[in-house]
Amino acid sequence: MEDLVPEPPDTDFAAGARSLARRTKRRRGIALAAASAVAVTAVVVPMALWGGDSPRPTAGSANKPSSGPMTPAALECPPTSKDRAERAEPTGGPIELGAVRALLCPVYGNFGDFQAPQDALEQAGVAVLFEKLASLPEAQKNPICTSDGGIAYRIVLEYPDQSQRSFIGENYGCHQLRTTDGTFTKAKEVWDTYLRQLRKQRADTEPASSVTASTSCDQGRSESPVGQVRDGLVDAILCVRYDTTIERSTQQIAIPAALLEELKTDLDANPGNAKDEYTCDRRNGPDRYVTIIATTTWGDVVSLRALCDLVFTVYSYGENRPSSWQPTSANQQALEKLLTQAPSRS
């Protein structure tokens, strides 16, 4: 996977910005600011790279170092919108180089179309993200868009003065990326770059000693786009629904810690051990749908969905296709015992 991750950019942001300015002279919309960064406290010379045919230095207050001690501001996702007819808008002003952190956020849905990663992308990854932003083509006027489905996302940027700005990406239709003063295409490439850089960052760091693990069956609808089961599980539940003539809600059953440890050992020892093609005959068995919803050591929500006979499909970020996992006989029996707690068909 490391082969897919772009090499880190030159740390000489000023030279890099001049190069980007020459390549983007005719593009409008994102005001990128060139920075010369020294350690964490940066002295920044901003330059509007996409402000017209003749870029010139501009004032960039967001990149000025603080004159006194700072209390880190909370970098959080704004509330999601339940009304998809209401188009989300970017916030805070033009996008400038010099951001020190970035956070990926959902835009729509009661729980969000996906779960926001709990860890932010730090400065090295943000620099790679800005290289991708600078390469985006400007959107055409009145484009003809496809009707493909997808999700919308927001990336919130934090600057040294603790100010925050955000832009919107749409992984559907025209695949547009919108800032406060411009619209571009290839939003999916920015999404992919962010996820690759976050996984690369995680490979060089350790997860927080404690993560927020409030796992629920509803979270199965908004999983982490960057989660991997192999990261390790800290909390898990069983979600089961039966096909009945009487409508029933999904039943939630906690998986005891001891059994979760057994399942983790089982997963590590037998990944992808089930047959590639597994068919089910539901005519003679229980018409039930079972899912394990779990939280990883990074706080990511991931799911393992059972086809039947407790053979689970395992989806993980970075894998071209899901794998199938069949627990040992002992673990299947333990799961079946838990499932008896859920009301079956009547």
Q: What is the token pair recorded at 135?
A: 């390469």
pLDDT at residue 285, rounded to an integer: 53
Residue 114 has pLDDT above 80, yes or no: yes
pLDDT at residue 24, rounded to an integer: 43
Mean predicted confidence (pLDDT) in 289-305: 91
Mean pLDDT score across all residues of the chain: 76
Q: What is the token pair recorded at 27?
A: 């593009």
Q: Are 222 and 151 in contact (CB under 8 A)?
A: no
Residue type for 144, please?
I
Q: What is the token pair recorded at 258?
A: 């001891």
- Most confident of the following: 17-26, 75-84, 268-277, 313-322: 75-84
Q: What are the φ and ψ backbone dihedral angles of 112, each rounded to 5 degrees?
A: 90, 145
For 195-253, what is each residue's pLDDT tens digit? Answer: 999 999 999 999 987 777 667 887 666 889 999 888 989 999 999 887 765 556 788 99
Q: What is the phi-psi region of residue 109: left when phi exceeds 0, alpha when psi lies from -120 to 50, beta otherwise?
A: left
CA distance readout (Å), 313 to 283, 286, 290: 21, 19, 11
For residues 16 and 216, give the distance between their C-alpha atoms in angstroms, rounded to a whole number.
45
Task: Give the sheet arrangement for strand 176-179, strand by strand.
Answer: 101-106, 152-158, 164-170, 176-179, 182-185
Sorted by where each starts, the structural domains of the chain and their CATH numbers stand as: 6-64+75-203 (no CATH), 217-339 (2.60.40)
For 263-291, what is each residue's pLDDT tens digit? Answer: 999 998 876 655 555 556 554 555 788 99
The number of beta carbons lying within 10 Å of the beta carbon of residue 181 is 15
